[in-house]
Copies of this chain bind each other. A is one copy, B any other.
Amino acid sequence: MFGAPFDGTVSFRPGARFAPEEIRKDSWGLETYSPYQDDDLESYRLSDAGDLELPFGNTEKALDMIESRVRSIVKDGKIPFMVGGEHLVSYPAVKALRERHQELCVVHFDAHADLRDDYLGESLSHATVMRRVWEIVGDGSIYQYGIRSGLREEFEWAQKHTFLRKFSLERFSRDLAEIGERPVYMSVDLDVLDPSAFPGTGTPEPGGISFAELLDAVVSACGLNVVGADVVELSPHYDHSGISTAAACKTIREMSISILRKK
């Protein structure tokens, strides 16, 4: 596990940079035992490699540093688990993992399709990240859930290139069977949650899934052959009550237990 506190391309409300720090701070208040999986995080070896010190205002350099870090974790035979930061951080992670895993596919939870080709003229952006990821993993390798916002063009483009499931997790278990033993990168943009459960994010989109639904899904998905994962887009300063950070911590705990127990 490591933090990638980067939010340089966020267009609306920045602040995802504060997520790793807040998650560390609040996680002491969280039990390590999961009644959902009847298992305890303390039974496993989870190493926290701290946060990357990313430069502000230099997107390419920041992405390079993330890519190197992921590559070195993979080299050590470990599974990288990245805490964002904004969603663009998934791109270098996928890049590094693809070198090792030719069949890599991506399971993606999000409110937004993130499939634009460019955003305000920039090709590297939180709003283009899954398009960039597609350039690496190719057609039929991205499974998207909970999507409820995007341009008409993104939804049309998705019909040919990704498995985009609108609004809900309805098709989720059927897809799991299809994925089978392919190596999987799990990318959880927490704004897939309804803003009532997760107000602390850059671009809240009403009409999302509940925390219980997300929990079920990520625990199941982590039973796949997960080779890397991230949890992104917590922007804690927009939620003074702290419930968004609590939701992030618990999601990370459940995903970690599920991934580690599978090994």
Which of B9, B25, B119, B246 interacts with A205 by CB under 8 Å? B246
Q: Is A76 an interface residue (CB 8 A)?
A: no
Given contacts A122-B57, A194-B211, contact A199 B7 (CB under 8 A): no
Question: What residue of chain B has the Cβ atom nearest to residue A195's Cβ?
Answer: B243
Copies in the complex: 6
Question: What residue of chain B has the Cβ atom nearest to residue A113's Cβ?
Answer: B35
- CA distance in complex: A200, B196 (Å): 12
**Number of contact residues on A: which range applies?**
35 or more
User: What 1/0 flags go to A223-245 for Cβ under 8 Å of B?
Assistant: 00000000000000111111100
- CA distance in complex: A238, B4 (Å): 23
Which A residues contact B (CB, under 8 angstroms)?
A: 7-15, 17, 21, 25, 29-31, 33, 35-36, 38, 40, 53, 55-59, 61, 88, 119-122, 124-125, 147-152, 155, 166-167, 194-197, 199-200, 203-207, 210-212, 215, 237-243, 246-247, 250
